[in-house]
């Protein structure tokens, strides 16, 4: 397991790389060029700039999250050709800089959706929260205005180029069914997976967050059956999955451990975090600890370990604790605690296997 940490870039993240360096066992940063709109080519100079910043502290930049997909590709419009050509150019540029994994998603309009970014937990910390009844009674534009317009930074997944044309986008998706979305994803993969293969980059699709339709938009990367379908669309190790325990875990029908057991050889990258689900379908993000949420984080780590997982893992959204001023979900403190929890489980699995082998040898 290679531990990595998401960082939003110089001048765009509250956390200096020097602080990330002090978290035990972090080998690389997970990054993106957040100022390049979806659909445009990522220029070599800008990629190299991040590489230099990271390498100064001994970090790799092997994992990119995300190269976002232009809506015209998801909608299957004729204009998708140019955007796919640009995507291919970006893959080639990233390969030149040594990138190994590209995380992306295929969610229409919105990436992740929550109703409250700073909901208080019992311990006084705050975290991202999803409230079913609120979604049922709010217009998407109002949600955007209450959630994401209050900051002087752009949140990933809520970039201005999506939000400024919200009602047009909703109109365009009016007649797009889940099957249309599958077709458009298949078309996109047919063009990019051969390029990814040639360039040694694994494409790792992120599941939909939450894993069900929101505001009537189609969503397809939501459960085991659909992930199997995605991986079978093109049966190549370069067509992979970002296993996100928190996104998939927001639905009680998803058994993450079983998914890892079935798909382990197609998971180059994992996001590990916990969420607490409520009976009415609401959910809140919690600490990574197994007892704080609904997800069997120990089981997730053990399933990865048992499959000899050698990919990249990052802690995912944390709570906001100790009065930290940070991006929602992306503070330093709780994600660092999360890492130590993940290492704790991992190291004891390694230790147990060693001791068992030793015992067996000495019998």
CB of 318 to ligand DNO, least distance (A): 11
Segment (H or E) for 239: strand 239-244
Residue 111 found at the interface with ligand DNO (CB under 6 A)? yes
Judged by CB under 6 A, which of 7, 42, 112, 283 binds ligand DNO?
A: 112
Looking at the chain, how many residues does it have?
Answer: 363
Judged by CB under 6 A, which of 90, 93, 105, 223 binds ligand DNO?
A: 105
Which residues, at least 6 apart from 134, have a Cβ–Cβ distance to it below 8 Å? 115
Is 19 an active-site residue?
no
Judged by CB under 6 A, which of 9, 43, 157, 281 binds ligand DNO?
A: 157
CB of 66 to ligand DNO, least distance (A): 3
Is 317 an active-site residue?
yes
Judged by CB under 6 A, which of 23, 50, 66, 163 binds ligand DNO?
A: 66
Judged by CB under 6 A, which of 7, 104, 269, 312 binds ligand DNO?
A: 104
Could you tell me which stretch among 15-23, 99-107, 132-140, 173-181 binds ligand DNO (CB under 6 A)? Answer: 99-107
For 159, the token pair is 């970039």
How many residues bind ligand DNO (CB under 6 A)? The answer is 11
Residue 315 found at the interface with ligand DNO (CB under 6 A)? no
Catalytic position from the list 87, 238, 271, 288: 271
Q: Which strands form 126-130's sheet, in the order they lie side by side?
A: 116-120, 126-130, 283-285, 275-277
Distance CA 117, CA 19 (A): 24
CB of 110 to ligand DNO, least distance (A): 10
Distance CA 102, CA 63 (A): 6
Residue 329 found at the interface with ligand DNO (CB under 6 A)? yes
Could you tell me which stretch among 97-105, 132-140, 318-326, 345-353 binds ligand DNO (CB under 6 A)? Answer: 97-105
Residue 156 found at the interface with ligand DNO (CB under 6 A)? yes
Judged by CB under 6 A, which of 100, 206, 219, 288 binds ligand DNO?
A: 206
CB of 38 to ligand DNO, least distance (A): 11
Q: What is the pairing mode between strands 126-130 and 116-120?
A: antiparallel
Is 244 an active-site residue?
yes
Catalytic position from the list 70, 288, 317, 320: 317
Catalytic position from the list 111, 130, 206, 238: 206
Catalytic position from the list 13, 70, 111, 244: 244
Distance CA 315, CA 286 (A): 12
Distance CA 173, CA 188 (A): 18
CB of 156 to ligand DNO, least distance (A): 4
Is 271 an active-site residue?
yes
Distance CA 69, CA 193 (A): 14
CA-to-CA dists, residue 90 to 34, 42, 97, 238, angstroms: 14, 5, 11, 16
Q: Give the residue ranges of DSSP H helices in the chain.
A: 17-21, 44-56, 71-75, 80-96, 132-136, 140-147, 160-163, 166-173, 178-198, 224-233, 245-249, 256-263, 297-306, 333-361
CB of 63 to ligand DNO, least distance (A): 11
Residue 268 found at the interface with ligand DNO (CB under 6 A)? no
* Cis, bond preceding 66 (omega within 30 deg of 0): yes
Distance CA 28, CA 21 (A): 9
Residue 115 found at the interface with ligand DNO (CB under 6 A)? no
Residue 240 found at the interface with ligand DNO (CB under 6 A)? no
CB of 131 to ligand DNO, least distance (A): 18
Residues labelled as active-site residues: 206, 244, 271, 316-317, 330
Residues that bind ligand DNO (CB under 6 A): 65-66, 103-105, 111-112, 156-157, 206, 329
């Amino acid at each position: 397991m290679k531990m990595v940490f998401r960082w939003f870039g110089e001048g765009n993240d509250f956390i200096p790389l020097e602080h990330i360096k002090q978290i035990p066992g972090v080998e690389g940063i997970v990054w993106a060029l957040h100022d390049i709109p979806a659909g445009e080519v990522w220029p070599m100079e800008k990629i190299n700039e991040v590489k230099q910043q990271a390498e100064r502290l001994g970090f790799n930049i092997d994992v990119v999250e995300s190269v976002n997909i232009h809506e015209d590709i998801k909608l299957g419009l004729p204009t998708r050709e140019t955007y796919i050509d640009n995507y291919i150019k970006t893959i080639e540029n990233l390969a030149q800089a040594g990138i190994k994994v590209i995380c992306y998603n295929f969610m229409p309009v919105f990436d992740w959706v929550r109703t409250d970014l700073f909901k208080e937990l019992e311990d006084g910390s705050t975290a991202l929260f999803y409230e079913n009844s609120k979604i049922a009674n709010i217009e998407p534009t109002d949600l955007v205005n209450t959630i994401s317009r209050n900051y002087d930074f752009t949140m990933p997944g809520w970039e201005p180029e999506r939000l400024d044309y919200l009602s047009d986008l909703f109109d365009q998706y009016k007649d797009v069914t889940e099957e249309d979305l599958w077709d458009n994803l298949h078309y996109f993969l047919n063009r990019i997976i051969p390029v990814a293969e040639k360039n040694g980059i694994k494409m790792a699709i992120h599941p939909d967050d939450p894993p069900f339709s929101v505001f009537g938009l189609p969503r397809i990367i939501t459960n085991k059956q659909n992930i199997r379908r995605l991986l079978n669309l093109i049966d190549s190790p370069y067509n992979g999955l970002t296993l996100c325990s928190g996104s998939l875990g927001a639905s009680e029908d998803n058994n993450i451990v079983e998914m890892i057991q079935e798909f382990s050889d197609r998971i180059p990258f994992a996001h590990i975090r916990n969420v607490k689900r409520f009976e009415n379908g609401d959910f809140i993000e919690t600490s990574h600890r197994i007892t704080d949420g609904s997800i069997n984080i120990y089981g997730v780590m053990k399933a990865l370990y048992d499959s000899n997982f050698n990919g990249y893992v990052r802690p995912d959204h944390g709570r906001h604790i100790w009065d930290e001023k940070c991006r929602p979900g992306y503070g330093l403190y709780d994600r660092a605690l999360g890492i130590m929890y993940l290492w704790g489980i991992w190291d004891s699995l390694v230790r147990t296997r060693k001791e068992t082998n030793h015992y067996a040898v000495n019998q």
